[in-house]
Amino acid sequence: MIEIVALTCHASNGVESARQWLRAPHALLEDASPLDQMDTIVGMEEVTTMLAHVEHGRPV
């Protein structure tokens, strides 16, 4: 989970932006927030995939 938070900070260019992104509902997560999804391995993988898309400029 710590790695995902660090990756989020890097991908979103800052702690406050990362905090907002992690807490905001997302359609790809059935309107759950990335933070809510990170309580399971599958959810963590989904969030990691989303972050990889953000980091590389691909659509999420």
Question: Between vectors from CA 6 to CA 19 and to CA 18, what angle results, nearest 5°?
Answer: 20
Domain count, the chain: 1
**Rounded Cα gap, residues 30 and 23, in angstroms:** 14
Q: What is the pLDDT along the chain (60 residues), one digit of tens a residue?
A: 888 888 888 888 889 999 999 999 999 899 999 999 999 999 999 999 998 888 777 766
What per-residue confidence (pLDDT) applies to 24? 95
Q: Residue 43 sits in which domain range? A: 2-55
Is 60 inside a domain boundary? no
* Length of the chain as a residue count: 60
Whether 25 maps to a domain, the answer reads yes
Q: Is the CA virtual torsion 8, 12, 28, 60 positive or negative?
A: negative
> Is this prediction's pTM over 0.75?
yes
User: 3-state DSSP call for residue 59?
Assistant: coil
pLDDT at position 10: 83
